[in-house]
Amino acid sequence: MDPECSQLLPALCAVLADPRQPVADDTCLEKLLDWFKTITKAGSSLLLLQENPCLVELLCHVLKPQDLSSRVLSFSLRLAGVFAAQEDCFQYLQQGELLPRLFGEPGPLGGAAWTAPSVRSGWIQGLRSLAQHPSALHFLADCGAVDTIFSLQGDSSLFVASAAGQLLVHILGLSMQGLAEGHPSLQAGDWPVCAQKIVGHIEESLHSTAVPQITQALNVLTTTFGHCHDPWTQVLWVRLSPLVGSLLEKDPVPAAHSLVDLLLSVARSPGLSSSSCGLWETLAQTLNHLSPTQAGPLALGILKLQDCPQVLRAQAFVILLQPLACVLKATGQDPGPSGVLDSATGDSLTVDVLLSSKAACVGLLCRTLAHLELLQPLPQRPCPWPQEPLLGAAVTLLQLCRGSASPASDVGRHLCALLLGCVRVQRAALDFLGTLSQGTGPQELVTEVFAVLLEYLRSPDSSPTVLKKAFQATFRWLLSSPKTPGCCDLEPHALLVLRELLPVLQKRLCSPCWEVRDSGLEFLTQMTRHWGGQAGFRHALLASEVPKLTEQLLRDPESYVRASAVTVMGQLSSQGLHVTPVSPEHPGGQQKSLLVELLHILSTDSEGFPRRAVMQVFTQWLRDHHADVAGDTEQFMARVLQVASQDLDWEVRAQGLELALVFLEQTLGQFHSHCPYAVTPPVAAPAGSLAQALQPLCRVRLFEFAFRALFDCDRPVAQKSCDLLLFLRAKTASSSGSLEESRSGPDVASVEAALQRWQAGDQGQPLGDLEPEVVLAVLRSVDLEGLRGALAEGSDHMEKSPQSLLQDMLATVGVLGENEADCY
Amino acid sequence: MKLYCLSGHPTLPCNVLKFKSTTIMLDCGLDMTSTLNFLPLPLVQSPRLSNLPGWSLKDGNAFLDKELKECSGHVFVDSVPEFCLPETELIDLSTVDVILISNYHCMMALPYITEHTGFTGTVYATEPTVQIGRLLMEELVNFIERVPKAQSASLWKNKDIQRLLPSPLKDAVEVSTWRRCYTMQEVNSALSKIQLVGYSQKIELFGAVQVTPLSSGYALGSSNWIIQSHYEKVSYVSGSSLLTTHPQPMDQASLKNSDVLILTGLTQIPTANPDGMVGEFCSNLALTVRNGGNVLVPCYPSGVIYDLLECLYQYIDSAGLSNIPFYFISPVANSSLEFSQIFAEWLCHNKQTKVYLPEPPFPHAELIQTNKLKHYPSLHGDFSSDFRQPCVVFTGHPSLRFGDVVHFMELWGKSSLNTVIFTEPDFSYLEALAPYQPLAMKCIYCPIDTRLNFIQVSKLLKEVQPLHVVCPEQYTQPPPAQSHRMDLMIDCQPPAMSYRRAEVLALPFKRRYEKIEIMPELADALVPMEIKPGISLATVSAVLHTKDNKHVLQPPPRPTQPTGGKKRKRASDDIPDCKVLKPLLSGSIPVEQFVQTLEKHGFSDIKVEDTAKGHIVLLQEAETLIQIEEDSTHIICDNDEVLRVRLRDLVLKFLQKF
């Protein structure tokens, strides 16, 4: 601890111990505790306490009967735990009987303060920190803490209850430590007293008829198997598994969710050889006993396991597929030749759940779809994967939700009535359908997929979120449609779909709902990105009204839509898909080019999103040598940088620097070719060429923009500018000798003076025209590395120091007199 | 109680309810779909229409070619369009006491009923219903009268000839009863018979029943009706909406506890959600206009158009359509737009509060003010000089058979840039378009029907719980095209009773009670006796006085003192005989106790037999039989009056007298 902090500490402890000066801010105490944790991690706690007796005094003081705030009490308990984590310090505190007084009966445990959840939580966390060594175990046994922890498992505060469970797991693990290493086959009867006590408590809870108690026991076990993989855990499981198994005999199975978690935790535990302890049998039994809603997560968990018997996997998969199999059966469809869904049909229990209520039906279907979606991309997904029936099921569900399926059975009609217009199922099924595009399907089924997607895209009843998902799924299916070898254009069938899709897109771009217009534009962006260069796509797109409508959306009243329209237009233009329309107002008149239009948006749009989008488009255009830009790059750069430098949105300014960097690279790239494939090795540049190379940068006033950004009030902008200038300096360093520097010229001085004023916050004065020599000189004189270091430290690095923290805390209670510290 | 069903159209109902002594007509809708069989009436001479070839029979016989014309494979009657009236033969319409109108769409047949059937009763409707109904009729008359047509075809209606015609003419029902449109004079005369009513106003009909209009939420002034007597309640639900559009919300609570609920006027497009359709309407409109095309919206001059204009008001700026002119062409356009602004009390809460600001409740006022929306009585006159394209035109009639819309169809039909958007659900758009084929113009069908759908109906029925539901037969099964959609029908318990055109339904409930008032002085004289805890009885002797379906018990006249001859004779003529009344008996005879009593009084050799209805007590010695049944006791003895009286008195001891 630095001496400044040591000096402040006694005053702070006095403040904390004084009930008349309440600590208003919890976070200060948390920071303080974090600080102490860092110190004790790095050095001896004992030494710390000996050097700062005020700390022990504080711990003693809080025990006095007084009206101390629960925050400070909780803090003290946790602090004591942090110190006592080191065994020597633990002994030191024990000498004063301080620990039993803090954590035992005489402490807050028996007092009125115990009613505050934060105190109970502090007590648990204190013990959690303290319990690191064998002495701690004895202490816990002596002060009867374990019984208190048992009772806290059912605490009214969820945080306290959960922490109590975690603490039990920790104590169990600690008490088994050391012992277990030597005796891997240790029988439970020979276990340490403390461990036996905890295990006994768990057994008792599992015998209980009260569901909350069973849940607590299961949760403790889940955490144990999840965190500890020592051999003793296997003994524990062998001992407890009959009890866990007996839970399955009850109807309904109590605490099913926790039971599923436990079984999966055990199954995942590397410490257990699953085959030897009957786990697979228990899992199979559980799958059979749980209701369809509860069995889903277990089935998914089993299927995700790396090594698991094939029979069990098959059973789990059948359970997982059951709801979809019911849907297929109810709508009179063949569940497919693969046989997986075949064996899943006919579970009347699942049908009962599906038909019991709309909420149950929707819940079960959405969960099933989500589980299958998770499973699909995994390497251990079941094989063979029933792609066809799953596709069929997803399509059927979507049809049921729209009322376009015509089920023949009563169950099917009932399902149809429950699912009609259900947005949740529509969204889940569309997501799932999109995932299924990873696989293939027979052509007629794929045709059906596109048909249902088009139906959704066309339907006036599709909600904006459903439409968005329908667009996404359509794109994924278009992507996955089989390609002709050697050609990345859309295959003929996909082109047919596209021709039907474009009129729908056209209409959606005119939707009164901005979310719909926006998703339409996003979809168009994705399509153009992938197929913009392909003849089939280009032809279809140019034959439609879509490009024209998109351009009109540049003037949309909603800023998100304008931003998306900017992105699409930028891309269309890059791909040569932007056709300048003939305006009805000025037939044959001069048309504004897209560049002018985008510049207009950049300089006048009131919202940040469209302006950011414009900057991104410009950057991309510059990278791609877009014709509009390449014509007169300097004029373009000068104009854009001028507008961007005045933008109020820091992201626009940052993007301006990105643009500047591209320009810089391109300009200097001609001067210094780093192309590894260059035929001729780089030759030393003639003396004048660096200055020449820098000339365009000066003409577009790139340096003024960059220097100004260096002192930008938004840190990311300043950092970016710093990086840019450092890059430039490195680039020019090699040839600096050849350029005559004007380190002491009058221009340099005036620039440096201007920079100083800017740094001081006066940004008014422009730099005027700069010469390359001056720029280079200034570049060298400014401490860019120092600036970068300062910026990297973060704006609050001063305020983050422990000294500052202590000062702040003291200042808030007025001990330091005036409020000197900036408590930002 | 009977229901006479005069119309088969579920949304244009015309039913007659006979309830107690009253005959009440519920709505008189006019089925205008018959006009789809006729050629359009062009406002300007149309060479295309006038040059259509005449239709001839398969054998080449062309005797009908003056009456029937062929267009793109369809045959149309070249004549003044005619309408299919409600049944007039099923019941003598001159006996109808009152007509209750639920909304302005359901009164279009009124002049036919009030002017040509001997009807002498009263029509009840709310003020907006009457005013807007008048506008609709005025527009209809105007549309048809301003294009006088010399020809009136009747040959094709001959039953033998009709059989030879192609569908749909062949299948058209009751063509002989189809009538031409009424005149303005008839409209005025019919409307003069209307009495205005307000929501929740109670109207007594002859003292027998009370009728009350309730807000139905569908259109300005639209109502459902409650028809009730003291002990029976019939609800008539016609054209109701639960959506938040411009009218006052629907009053559901007052429909509770109905014995019978007659349910008509549900949405005609149950699969189309109005919100989605409005979105679709806007998207297609913008798409067309942005491509330089014109949009034609065939519509009625009131109703959904207000909502569409409101949506467009919010949409046009955002869609960059501010410079596009919107035209509303109808002989009643101006009145319709202005009327909508003055019926504040009939509007939804939001619009009502605007009036206090004060602001016009509908934003179309602002559209007019800023010249974005312009209205004209017809396309002649000012419109032709203001007309600018591309534009959006709202005009009637939605059947596309008459009105200014015919001209725009002819004008714009040839270009694929233009679009016609159908928003009114009353006519099949494909049939409406048939005489304009081949058509290059794009056609979009966005039917906007805000009336109740089946989900809403099932919630409503659960809420109001009527004992019986009566509805058109179309609502008791899924639509033929979607037979699997069990959700597209009324599902209630007991199943709804259905009706079809020209059917008479006996409504399934019997009247059990009638309310009778007792005059105060008579009531004062009553002496109730408690015969069971909580139930008291009193006998009353009175004169039942019945007048105007009201029943009153008045005290009987005092027995007159016998006086002089003539006078006494006259008194006995006037006053009914008041006999001295025997007391009434009540109670039951417990057999065992009765036998004990008999034994106490010296009877012996008593035998009791149980019968189906009670008991027989046999006094063998006295050769006497006492039959005790639930509601009668007989003593049968052989001419021994003394014994009978003795036994009678013993029986009477067990009974209460009053």
Helix (H) / strand (E) element for B195: namely strand B194-197
Is the Cβ pair A413, B290 closer than 8 Å? no
Q: Do B282 and A511 touch (CB under 8 A)?
A: yes
- pLDDT means per 10 residues, chain A with 824 residues, are 85 85 78 91 90 90 80 92 93 86 81 88 94 89 89 92 94 81 60 88 92 94 90 86 89 90 90 72 90 91 89 91 89 62 63 85 94 91 88 94 84 88 95 92 89 94 94 93 62 85 93 94 94 90 91 92 96 85 48 86 94 96 89 91 92 95 85 48 52 85 88 88 90 61 64 77 72 83 84 67 81 57 42
B307 touches chain A (CB under 8 A): no
Return the pLDDT at A396: 94
Distance between CA atoms of A314 and B571, rounded to whole angstroms?
104
DSSP string, A487-536: --SPPHHHHHHHHHHHHHHHHHTT-SSHHHHHHHHHHHHHHHHHHTT-HH
Give CA–CA dist A4/A8, Å, rounded: 6
Q: Chain-centre distance of CA A73, in angstroms?
A: 35
Answer whether B283 touches A (CB < 8 Å): yes
- Residues in chain A with CB shorter than 8 Å from the CB of B487 are 403, 416-417, 420
Integer Cα distance of A385 and B422 in angstroms = 48
Joined tokens for residue B10:
């579920």
The C-alpha atoms of residue A599 and residue A611 are separated, in whole angstroms, by 9
Average pLDDT over residues B532-540: 86
Of A337, A347, A344, give the one whose Cα is nearest residue A321. A344
* Contact (CB<8Å) B287/A549: yes
pLDDT at B462: 93
Q: Cβ separation of A508 and B317 shorter than 8 Å?
A: no
pLDDT for A817 equals 46
Region of B55 (left: φ > 0; alpha: ψ -120 to 50; beta: rest) is beta
What letter represents residue B424's amino acid? E
Residues 6+ apart with CB under 8 A from A492: none
Cβ-contact A44, A88 below 8 angstroms: yes
Alpha carbons A172 and A126: distance in angstroms, whole number:
17
B319 with A558: Cβ contact below 8 A: no
* pLDDT for residue A641: 93
Q: How far lies A332's CA from each of A154, A414, A418, A442, A447, in Å?
A: 50, 13, 17, 19, 20
Return d(Cα A301, Cα A316) in angstroms, integer. 9
Comparing B532 with A240, the larger pLDDT belongs to A240
Strand stretches in A192-331, DSSP E? none
Distance from CA of B422 to the nearest CA of A (A): 15
Residue B657 CA to residue B648 CA, distance in Å, equals: 14
Residue with tokens 């006796």: B529
Q: Which residues of B touch A459 (CB under 8 A)?
A: 276
The alpha-carbon radius of gyration of chain B (Å, integer) is 35
Tell me which residue of A228, A224, A300, A309 sits closest to A262, measured CA to CA.
A224
For residue A121, give the DSSP letter.
Answer: H
Tell me which residue in B287, B314, B485 faces A507 most closely, judged by beta carbons.
Answer: B287
Is residue A186 helix, strand or coil?
Answer: coil
A130: nearest Cα among A78, A69, A177, A168: A78
Bridge partners of B545, per DSSP, are B552
Cα dihedral: B598, B602, B605, B606 (round 10):
-10
Tell whether B284 lies on the interface with A, counting CB pairs under 8 A.
Answer: yes
Contact A507 B283 (CB under 8 A): yes
Q: What is the mean pLDDT of residues B569-575?
A: 49
Identify all chain B residues contacting A545, using CB atoms and an 8 Å cutoff.
287, 290-291
* CB hemisphere CA count around A302 (13 angstroms): 30
In B286-305, the residues whose Cβ lies within 8 Å of chain A are 286-287, 290-292
Say how far apart CA B194 and CA B133 lie, in whole Å: 12
Report residue B65 as tokens.
């070619």
Residues of A in contact with B318 (CB under 8 A): 512, 514, 556-558
> Does the beta-carbon distance from A460 to B318 stay under 8 Å?
no
Token pair of B180 as six digits: 């031409």
Instruction: Give CA A664 to chain center in angstroms.
Output: 34
Query: Best interface-test mutation with A: which of B267, B290, B483, B491 has the largest number of A CBs within 10 A?
Result: B290
Range with the poorest average pLDDT among A263-272, B256-265, B332-341, B372-381: A263-272
Look up tokens 């040569």; give the residue. Answer: A576
pLDDT over 90 for what percent of chain B?
Answer: 63
Cα–Cα distance, A699 to A704 (Å, whole number): 10
Give which of A645, A664, A793, A633 is closest to A726, Cα–Cα.
Answer: A664
Residue A587: predicted pLDDT: 46
Measured between CA atoms, the residue of chain A closest to residue B312 is A512
How many C-beta atoms surround the C-beta of residue A370 within 10 A?
15
Residue of A419, A422, A463, A510 for testing the chain B interface, max B β-carbons within 10 Å: A510
The answer to whether the Cβ–Cβ distance between A512 and B271 falls below 8 Å is no
**Among the residues of A305-405, which ranges form H helices?**
310-330, 340-344, 348-356, 358-375, 387-402
Q: In the prediction, which pLDDT does A24 show?
A: 65
Task: Identify the CA nearest to A312 among candidates A301, A326, A328.
Answer: A301
Residue identified by tokens 């202490």 is A139
Q: B336 is written with which tokens?
A: 């319709």
| C-alpha to C-alpha distance for B495 and B565, rounded to whole angstroms | 68
Q: Do B283 and A510 touch (CB under 8 A)?
A: yes
Partner A contacted by B482 (CB < 8 A): yes
Q: Distance, in angstroms, between B128 CA and closest chain A CA?
A: 31
Q: What is the largest CA-CA distance in chain B?
A: 118
Q: Is B645 helix (H, G, I), strand (E, B) or coil?
A: helix
CB A143 within 8 A of CB A103: yes
Q: Which of B295, B311, B487 to mutate to test the interface with A (most CBs of A within 10 A)?
A: B487
- Per-residue pLDDT, B578: 53
Residue type, B182: Y
Cis peptide before B397 (omega within 30 of 0): yes
Which residues of A lie closer than 8 Å to B, measured between beta carbons?
A: 403, 406-408, 413, 416-417, 420, 459-462, 506-508, 510-514, 516, 545, 548-549, 552, 555-558, 584
| pLDDT of amino acid A569 | 95
Strand order in the sheet with B550-554: B516-518, B550-554, B543-547
In sequence order, what are the residues at sequence separation of 6 or more whose Cβ sits closer than 8 angstroms to the Cβ of residue B110? B28, B99, B101, B123, B133, B190, B191
Q: Tell how far CA A534 is from the center of its chain.
A: 36
What pLDDT score does A738 carry?
A: 47
Nearest to B318 among A406, A459, A557 (CB): A557
Q: What is the rounded CA–CA span in Å between residue A635 and residue A641? A: 10
Q: Would you say B82 and B180 are in contact if contact means Cβ atoms under 8 Å apart?
A: yes
Rounded Cα distance, B2 and B23, in Å? 10
d(CA B254, CA B557): 43
Q: Reduce the DSSP state of residue B512 to 3 states and report it.
A: coil
| Prediction pTM value | 0.79
State residue A734's pLDDT score: 64
Min Cα separation B270/chain A (Å): 12
Q: Label residue B571 by pLDDT band (50, 70, 90).
A: very low
Sheet holding B373-376, edge to edge: B373-376, B326-329, B392-395, B295-298, B419-422, B442-445
Q: Shortest CB distance from A552 goes to which of B278, B290, B482?
A: B290
In this complex, do B290 and A510 lie within 8 Å of one another by their Cβ atoms?
yes
Which secondary-structure segment (H or E) carries A72? helix A70-84
Tens of pLDDT, residue by residue over B54-66, are 998 888 888 888 8
B287 vs A545: CB contact, 8 Å cut-off?
Answer: yes
- B576-583: which pairs have CB atoms within 8 A and are 24 or more residues apart? B576/B543, B578/B541, B581/B539, B581/B541, B583/B657, B583/B658
Say whether B565 sits in a helix, a strand or coil: helix
Output the pLDDT for position A678.
Answer: 43
Give the distance from residue B276's alpha carbon to the nearest chain A alpha carbon, in angstroms: 5
What pLDDT, on the 0 to 100 scale, is given for residue B461?
Answer: 95
Please indicate whether, in this complex, the C-beta atoms of A459 and B276 are within 8 angstroms of each other.
yes
